[in-house]
């Protein structure tokens, strides 16, 4: 079996009680996902097509192309069922759990996007599903709590700590340690102990497998650059995977610069989520990777206007590809991300998720040499879930390209 490391990163830093679960999962990953035992991959492909709506289009964005003097193509993961790329992974893992003979699915969620994708996949495959969510997050994300419950999932609020994602992850790990025989834990990004980072990348790499074939079909060539936003890194790894060996294709991971790149040591927070650009090595959630830490090596809370990018760590393989110089990390602050949100909405008629808006906004900062003459940008999700935050955040600042926010009174 592989060691599950990417250079100095990755590994399995977990309590002894979880090792049997990881070994069993590693074995299942190798047999079903890598070797297609029992036709697992064919089953997955059929379901992600008929239930998920794949393939998603690769769309030539005419206004952006004119603006940047390069052909800009959008890989439209916002059109996947559920409105984001997350279903690729959630459906893959729930299906794998079924092949492994598991009877129950658990997951953790912060803003609720991964929880809703997992609940959808579990309903589709007729598996009971329990989603742990910090109490504070359940109050902030009521529509997502309801979506999960509509799909038959149980949402369990976690009251410890600050009541956010970090505590929800600990609670899910605790559940898993005592229920491994019957239960699979669906991790939502390319993070966590081996084999999760490799397995989640493989499920998400459908994005670049399609995009690579589509651009060859539509433009008769490979792109000069691929641009994708990075939180934990599953959209990024999915968008990059099939291009990593194409040396001539430049890969850009766009992180959330938040309100500042400086860690606030006194408050123990980083007002950003730029772990690739500013983080240092450490261990979080079972893997060695790049993390936001203070001078004493304490992991600090992250911040971003976009909840999906708001994470103190990042996938180990992405950290490795950055160290190797294959992936270039860049970042965009909250203000510019909002401008990116309004720009894609106005110029192309595509309302992006706030996470995606970071990647869109970076096109403004990029040099012509970085972008080259042909760009593929993944629209990781649609922005409907973010409209309330966008109204609030746009009203707070001067976003030059935003529509008038108060025309109807009442804040709109
Ligand atoms: C969750 C999410 C992200 C960030 O997660 P990754 O694992 O980095 O992909 C990005 N975009 C959207 C739309 C999301 O829902």
Per residue in 85-107, pLDDT tens?
999 999 999 999 999 999 999 99
Catalytic residue among 26, 77, 108, 393: 108
Using the mean position of ligand 1's atoms as its centre, give its distance from the Cα of residue 380 in Å: 6
Is the pLDDT reported for residue 158 higher than 70?
A: yes
pLDDT class of 322 with cuts at 50, 70, 90: very high
Per residue in 288-299, pLDDT tens?
999 999 888 888
- 203-207, 220-224, 275-279: lowest mean pLDDT where? 275-279
Per residue in 256-286, pLDDT tens?
999 888 888 888 888 888 999 999 999 999 9
52, 24 Cβ separation under 8 angstroms: no
Question: Where do the domains of the chain lie, and which CATH numbers do they carry?
Answer: 19-50+86-200 (3.40.50.1100), 58-83+205-396 (3.40.50.1100)
DSSP state, residue 382: B
With the most atoms of ligand 1 within 8 angstroms of its CB, the residue from 196, 208, 232 to mutate is 232
With 0-12 / 13-18 / 19 or more C-beta atoms within 10 angstroms meaning exposed / middle / buried, residue 326 is middle
With the most atoms of ligand 1 within 8 angstroms of its CB, the residue from 78, 84, 236 to mutate is 84
Ligand 1 and 378: CB distance under 6 A: no
Decide if 108 is catalytic: yes
Rounded mean pLDDT, 129-157: 94
pTM of the model: 0.96
* Proportion of the chain in helix, strand, coil states, percent, rounded to 5: 45, 20, 35
Decide if 86 is catalytic: yes
Decide if 380 is catalytic: yes
């Amino acid at each position: 079996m592989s060691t599950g490391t990417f250079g100095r990163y990755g590994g399995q830093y977990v309590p002894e009680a979880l090792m049997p679960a990881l070994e069993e999962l590693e074995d299942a990953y190798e047999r079903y996902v890598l070797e297609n035992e029992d036709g697992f991959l064919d089953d997955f492909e059929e379901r992600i097509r008929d239930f998920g709506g794949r393939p998603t289009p690769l769309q030539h964005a005419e206004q952006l192309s004119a603006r940047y003097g390069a052909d800009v193509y959008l890989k439209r993961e916002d059109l996947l069922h559920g409105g984001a790329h997350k279903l690729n992974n959630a459906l893959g893992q729930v299906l794998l759990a079924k092949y492994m003979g598991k009877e129950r699915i658990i997951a953790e969620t912060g803003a609720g996007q991964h929880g809703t994708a997992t609940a959808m996949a579990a309903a589709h495959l007729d598996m009971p599903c329990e989603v742990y969510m910090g109490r504070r997050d359940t109050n902030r994300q009521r529509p997502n709590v309801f979506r999960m419950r509509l799909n038959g999932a149980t949402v369990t609020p976690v009251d410890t700590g600050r009541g956010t994602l970090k505590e929800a992850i600990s609670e899910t790990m605790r559940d898993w340690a005592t229920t491994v025989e019957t239960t699979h834990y669906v991790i939502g990004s390319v993070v966590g102990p081996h084999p999760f980072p490799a397995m989640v990348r493989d499920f998400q790499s459908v994005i670049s497998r399609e995009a690579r074939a589509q651009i060859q079909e539509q433009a008769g060539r490979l792109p000069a650059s691929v641009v994708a936003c990075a939180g934990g890194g599953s959209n990024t790894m999915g968008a990059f995977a099939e291009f990593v060996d194409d040396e001539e294709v430049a890969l850009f991971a766009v992180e959330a610069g938040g309100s500042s790149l400086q860690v606030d040591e006194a408050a123990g927070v980083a007002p950003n989520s730029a772990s690739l650009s500013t983080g240092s090595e450490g261990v979080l959630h079972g893997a060695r990777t790049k993390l936001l830490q203070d001078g004493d090596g304490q992991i600090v809370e992250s911040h971003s206007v976009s909840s999906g990018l708001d994470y103190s760590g990042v996938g180990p393989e992405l950290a490795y590809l950055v160290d190797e110089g294959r992936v270039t990390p860049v970042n965009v602050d909250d203000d510019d991300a909002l401008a990116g949100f309004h720009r894609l909405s106005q110029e192309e008629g595509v309302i992006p998720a706030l996470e995606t808006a970071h990647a869109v906004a970076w096109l403004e900062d990029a040099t012509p040499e970085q972008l080259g003459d042909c760009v593929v940008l993944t629209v990781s999700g649609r922005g409907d879930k973010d409209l309330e935050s966008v109204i609030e955040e746009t009203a707070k600042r001067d976003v030059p390209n935003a529509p008038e926010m108060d025309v109807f009174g009442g804040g709109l």
